[in-house]
Every structure is written in structure tokens, then in C-alpha cells.
Structure 1
């Protein structure tokens, strides 16, 4: 008898939950500004990514994409270091941020001029934070 009552209660709760979902989904979809707000939100997120330079970041779960990104950024960073272009050293911190083992890479980069290495160390936390926030934005955009 108790099992039967709990089964009935579970069915009623399930039906109420599904009714709740259907009601609010219809209410949301019938809102005339829903699609406009959704487009605007996605456009803002895309612009924020482009401004931060994160549109080119790979999916960290895809090993091939991370490896390709790593090699490209290392090449660009090396070329810019050879030109001693200190304003464009932003490629190397992104390489360090996506690298699985950054310690050997940092040890190798210690051979660069001290101001360049110091700039790398100061920009590394902000680049790492941008990568984390970009990944969370990509995961949040499920709608």
C-alpha cells in the first residue's frame, strides 16, 4: 500500500514538473522580445571574445587543436622575440597558459631578455583568466 502511494505521488510530481516546464517554455517563447534578447546576448558574448582576442583559442578538450595552437603561437612568439617587439609578446603567455607542463617552457624562456621575461610573467595571470572565462562562456552558451 505504501509503495503504491509513493508511486502515485511520484507520477503526480512528475506530471506537475512537466506541466511547469511546458508552461514556462511557452511563456518564454511567446515573449515578443525573446529572440531579440537572445541575439543581443550572443552578439555581446561574441564581441567580448573578439575584443579579448579569444576567438582563436582552441577547445582545451581537443588535444589536436591545442597542439596546433601551441605550435602556431610558439612560432609567432619566437618571431616577435627575434624582432624584439615587446608590445606583441601576448602570444607566449597564451602558449604557457594552454601548455600541459609550463615549467620547462618557462625555464627556456628565462633565456629571453629580462624585460621580456618580466612582461611574460606579469601578463600570464590575465591571459590564464581570459582562457578560463572563455571556456566558461562557451560552456554556458547552450541555448
Structure 2
């Protein structure tokens, strides 16, 4: 028994329509779920948090012996820190600024400038977080085979 093109076309059209109806029905059921918006918001926040965490080191760490690479890394961390602080993400902003301070050759001067330009509460948060950030950078550089930071560079 051979199916005609018309019958085959109708069968394919009917199957497509049923599949589309199935998709619409379950999409409506999903949207009616009282926890849908809460779950969606949590998933988006988690994705944003993971994206922020993946940028925490601002990409791969530069070679400590390459002065230009260190300078680019320093400037990138300052810029990211300022952007995140302006956006209201204090924790990530302080993390980036802490990394900039940790790789800076003139730590005391940079801390003095930051103290004058930042609100006191954020500056104190930076000071509290600085040892943790410095240790994480040191561990990351050691694990990547790079040279470690000098003790006088991290205070």
C-alpha cells in the first residue's frame, strides 16, 4: 500500500501541529508554576555570580617578569574594580582592587590614593580582604609555574 504525497503531507503537518501544541501546553504549565519566577531569578543570579567569579582573576595571570603584562593586568583590575563598585557589586569590586594592590610595586602609595578616593567603609573592606586576595594570587601564580610575589609587594 503506497501513501500518496497528500496523505504523507497531512500526516507530517498533523505531527508538527501536535508537537507544537505539546510545547505550548507545557510552556504554559511551566509559567503557571508559582515558583517559576523565583527559580528563574535564582538561576540568573547564580549564572551572573559564576560569570563574576570566572572573571575574578581577570583572565590568565601575567608573567611576573613581563613588566608590560603586569602593567596591563594592574590597569585591567583597577578598571574592573571601579566598574563593579559603580554597579553596586562591592565584593567583586573590592576583589579586583585587591588584586591590583597585590601586584602593584608601590603598594603604600596606591593604598593612600585609594583611601582618599574611596568611601571609608569600602576602603576598610579592601584592607580586610587584601591578605586573602594576595594569598590566592600567590597560590595561583605558584600553581601556574610563575614567579611568586615578593613579600614587600604584598602587605
Same-fold status (TM-score > 0.5): yes
Aligned length: 91
Is it true that 1:76 corresponds to 2:80 in the alignment?
yes
- Following superposition of structure 1 onto structure 2, how do residues 106-117 of structure 1 map, counting pairs within 5 Å? 106-111=111-116, 112-117=118-123
Does residue 65 (structure 1) correspond to residue 69 (structure 2)? The answer is: yes
TM-score (norm 1): 0.56
The answer as to whether partners of 1:74 and 1:95 remain within 8 angstroms in 2 is: yes
Q: Which residue of 2 aligns with 1:85?
A: 89
| Runs of at least 5 residues in structure 2 that lack an aligned partner in the other structure | 1-52, 147-155
Whole-angstrom distance in 1 between the partners of 2:100 and 2:144:
20
For structure 1, the residue ranges without an aligned partner over 5 or more in a row are 1-49
Which secondary structure does the structure 2 equivalent of 1:124 belong to?
helix
Please list the CA deviations of residues 13-57 of structure 1 after superposition, one character each: whole Å capped at 9, or x if unmatched: xxxxxxxxxxxxxxxxxxxxxxxxxxxxxxxxxxxxx87944532
Q: Which has the larger radius of gyration?
A: 2
> Matched residues in 1 for 2:132 and 2:107: separation?
16
Q: In 2, distance between residues paired with 1:123 and 1:56?
A: 21
- Aligned equivalents of 1:92, 1:103: Cα separation in 2: 14
Are positions 1:95 and 2:131 aligned together?
A: no
Distance between the aligned counterparts of 2:91 and 2:139, measured in 1? 23
In 1, Cα distance between the equivalents of 2:143 and 2:82? 30
Taking only aligned residues, the RMSD between alpha carbons, in angstroms, comes to: 2.3
Deviations 1:61-89 (A, max 9, x none): 21111011111111111223334431222
Q: Is 2:140 the counterpart of 1:134?
A: yes
TM-score by length of 2: 0.52
